Amino acid sequence: MTGPLPRRNRSHRLALTAAVLAATTLACGPVAYEIPIETPLQPKLDVTAFQRVLIAGFVAGGSDDVDTNQETVRLLRSQLRSKSSLRVIDADVMPLQQIAQEQSRPGNEATGTVASRDGAAGGPAPLLALPERIREEKDLEPYERLFANTAYWKRIGEEYQNPLIVTGTVLFTPHSRSGFVSRDVEQYDSFGRRRVMPVRTYMERKGFILRPKFVFIDGRSGATMYSESYREEILYNAQQATPALSSYFELMDRLVPNFLSTLSSQKIRGSRVLLK
């Protein structure tokens, strides 16, 4: 007699098949293993010739709420002490904006060798005037010639036994933006189930932009070895009163790993999957 199997026999067969499959899987063992790894990254700069590093100071501008020169020097020295093999020189922070202004005064013998543009026939054109207050990026441009003053930096290097010198510019400016922003909003349906829905709302936000440029100078010759610029931005709800200094540190935290990777080997932790 032929026909479909009774329902009870069919469900027994299915259960038995499932049990056999489960047992087989267990017997074979896992086929993938998650494993932690650390990828070493070589430093961008060859600093093997240096035992010491001088974080000299920065030409800083932007918000008056933060002494960006002091804070940047302090933070970078602290980071290099704990995460680099270079010995960090503990010296007074150099007021580079004032130093640059002194160097630009006519007849100042501290000027040394400065890159200048050739003007029309008759002699070199006058250098760009250095703005007293630094509010925007264009205010920083005339100060760049300070880093090309090799005689000056060589003299600094001799004073501190030929270290690697780190200097540059830092601009920390307030910033605001208004517009529609997509936010995730929790909603509950009639069954009480939670859902997250994107909702576009008009928002006024304010925050800060941090734009440092790090210049690495060979203290033995005064010549620039390398420079790198960064830009980080953070925005908050306009009603949120976040102190400028907190924002500065939050933005610098994002940049510090890249700064450190210029000078020292870093290891990036992650995990991968090994397969059988």
Binding residues for other proteins (CB under 8 A) = 32-33, 35, 37-42, 44, 228, 258, 261, 268, 270, 272-276
C-beta closer to other proteins: residue 37 or 115: 37
CB of 269 to other proteins, least distance (A): 11
From the list 221, 199, 267, 271, the residue with the least C-alpha distance to 39 is 267
Helices within 160-243 (DSSP H only): none
Q: What region, left, alpha or beta, does residue 62 occupy, with left being phi > 0 and alpha being psi -120 to 50 degrees?
A: left
C-beta closer to other proteins: residue 43 or 112: 43
Which tokens belong to 40? 């070493």
Cα dist from 253 to 22, 76, 97, 148, 246, whole Å: 49, 11, 25, 29, 11
CB of 203 to other proteins, least distance (A): 30
Which tokens belong to 173? 């400016």
CB of 32 to other proteins, least distance (A): 6
CB of 31 to other proteins, least distance (A): 8
C-beta closer to other proteins: residue 84 or 262: 262
Which residues are CB-contacts of 130 (< 8 A; sequence separation ≥ 6)? Answer: 97, 100, 101, 104, 142, 143
CB of 261 to other proteins, least distance (A): 7
C-beta closer to other proteins: residue 32 or 196: 32
C-beta closer to other proteins: residue 161 or 258: 258
Beta strands 52-62 and 164-188 are parallel
